[in-house]
Amino acid sequence: MMNMQIKFTTPEEAVKVIKSGDHIHLSSVASAPQCLIKAMCERGRNKEFCDVHIHHLHTEGAAPYSEPEFEGIFQLDSFFVGGNVRKTTQAGYADYIPIFLSETQRLYRSGAVPCNVAMIQVSTPDKHGYVSLGTSVDATLAAVETADHVIAVVNRHVPRSFGDAMIHVSMIDLFVEDDTPLEEAHFTTPNEVEVKIGKYCAELIEDGATLQMGIGAIPNAVLAQLGGHKNLGIHTEMFADGVLPLVEAGVINGAAKNIDKGKMVSTFLMGSQKVYDFIDDNPGVLMMDVGYTNDPFIIAKNDRVTAINSALQVDITGQVCADSLGTKFYSGVGGQIDFIYGASLSKGGKAIIAMPSVTNKGVSKIAPILTPGAGVVTTRNHIHWFVTEHGAVDLYGKSLQERARLIISVADPSAREELDRAAFERYGSHHHYIKSYMKK
């Protein structure tokens, strides 16, 4: 443990600070402190407290506190609905707080959401008494600053990342030791449709661009196309394995950035052990507070910010649903609007919504109107570029009828006639939409 003398306790002992009515913050994604979660749930099973509220962003691994058996004991009010709590949230056992990712930290700092206990995971201390939050700073730093009690799992597998991730041990009240390796996330290889989308997006990315992209096959497909680019930068909410070959090849070097020049900036990570190893002791990566990474006005300080985000459904006016399937919550607002708006304000920036034109079951994801109950995440006023496997269209400054024509042009061919008819019925024969409809 270097020169630091830290007194460790057991997970079971540490979670005794939790009392009825408390609000608990759990660190996110790979950093979810599983040994503390397990000990907390054990206390819950023994009915040692009730009405304990739990908050977190997306977490990897088990989330037993959201299960029906803990009704009345734990209430999960997440800031993002991840796959591990989706079913329980949709069934009403857990709930969701709609919030821009940039503002999750403000919930704690403003007191809108109290934080009684922050349960986090950190690296081993250095000789100066600093530990690192490793793979997840996001809203966790704000929770640490505002919590009555901070319990930290010290884990030698947590990478020592820099930026806002570095905190002094004096900010922590209780220490637990656990050397379970971090949860890894592995992504599928892009399929033919995703590769096509990746190509269209890559064509929009200029040399010297600063990139933000989400997770999954489409971002990986985009990154795979960028080998010939120069001087790309990263200012994002998260990155995964796809960026590593581009860093090694010198394509991503941050040389053209106006702020944090030469640095990759992120607030959390999700990927394989390779990513965790990459950020360990790496001064080229800054893991920052989500209030910094996702502030649209900070994002806009870099030129040519290119933000690529996905959607569940888009209507013919350009409204983007990205958080729910009808009334059923699927994910959350996340950082989509933070980056769509930030990229739009950036000099030479491009905000891109990219998605396959149909679902896995062949249903068109482009619809005349959004499914009733669907949430509008990116409004029709915010959307710029829209990309499917059938092409890329720029909707900025276009009228409703012109948008409809452009959006339908990148829909699945099997859906275009029905979409055309809907647009015709919506805009009537006296509008110029009729001209393109009549030509068919």
- Other beta carbons within 10 angstroms of residue 202's beta carbon come to 19
pLDDT at 104 over 90: yes
Indicate if the pLDDT at residue 254 is higher than 80. Answer: yes
CA distance 380 to 401: 13
Q: Give the model's confidence band at 188: pLDDT under 50 very low, under 70 low, under 90 confident, else very high.
A: confident
Helix (H) or strand (E) holding 26: strand 23-26
Q: Amino acid identity, residue 78?
A: S
Rounded to whole angstroms, how far apart are CA atoms 20 and 12? 16
Residues 147-171 pLDDT 10s: 999 999 999 999 999 999 999 999 9
The one-letter amino acid at 273: Q
User: Could you tell me which residues come within 8 angstroms of residue 5 by beta carbon, excluding any fewer than 6 positions away?
Assistant: none
Averaged pLDDT, 14-33: 98
Q: How confident is the model at residue 374 (pLDDT cuts 50, 70, 90)?
A: very high
- The pLDDT score that the predictor gives to residue 431 is 55
Contact criterion met (CB below 8 Å) for 409 and 391: yes
| Distance (Å, whole) CA 391 – CA 415 | 15
Q: At what angle do helices 413-427 and 400-409 cross, to 10 degrees?
A: 170
Triad 183, 189, 190: Cα angle to 5°: 125
Please report which confidence band the pLDDT of residue 201 belongs to, taking 50, 70 and 90 as the band edges: very high
Look at residue 360 and tell me whether its pLDDT is greater than 80. yes
pLDDT of residue 171: 98
Q: Which of 60, 103, 194, 237 is catalytic?
A: 237
Q: What is the pTM of this model?
A: 0.95
Give me the torsion for CA of 109, 339, 88, 10, rounded to 10°. Answer: -50
In this predicted structure, the answer to whether residue 437 has a pLDDT above a threshold of 70 is: no
Specify the DSSP class assigned to residue 428. -
- pLDDT classification of 434: cutoffs 50, 70, 90: very low
Tens-place pLDDT, residues 208-238: 999 999 777 899 999 999 999 999 999 999 9
Q: What rounded mean pLDDT belongs to the chain?
A: 95
- Least confidently predicted of 130-139, 272-281, 428-437: 428-437
CA–CA dist 336, 386 (Å, integer) = 14
pLDDT of residue 132: 98
Q: Which long-range contacts (C-beta less than 8 Å, at least 24 apart) are formed by 300-303?
A: 300/342, 300/343, 300/345, 300/346, 300/349, 301/258, 301/259, 301/346, 302/210, 302/233, 302/235, 302/257, 302/258, 302/259, 302/346, 303/208, 303/210, 303/256, 303/258, 303/346, 303/347, 303/348, 303/349
> In the prediction, which pLDDT does 410 show?
98
**Per-residue pLDDT tens over the stretch 303-325:** 999 999 999 999 999 999 999 99
- Whether 440 shows a pLDDT value over 90: the answer reads no
% of residues, the chain, pLDDT over 70: 97
> What is the pLDDT, as a whole number, of residue 430?
58
Is 237 labeled as catalytic in the residue annotation?
Answer: yes
Q: How far is CA 216 from the centre of its chain?
A: 11
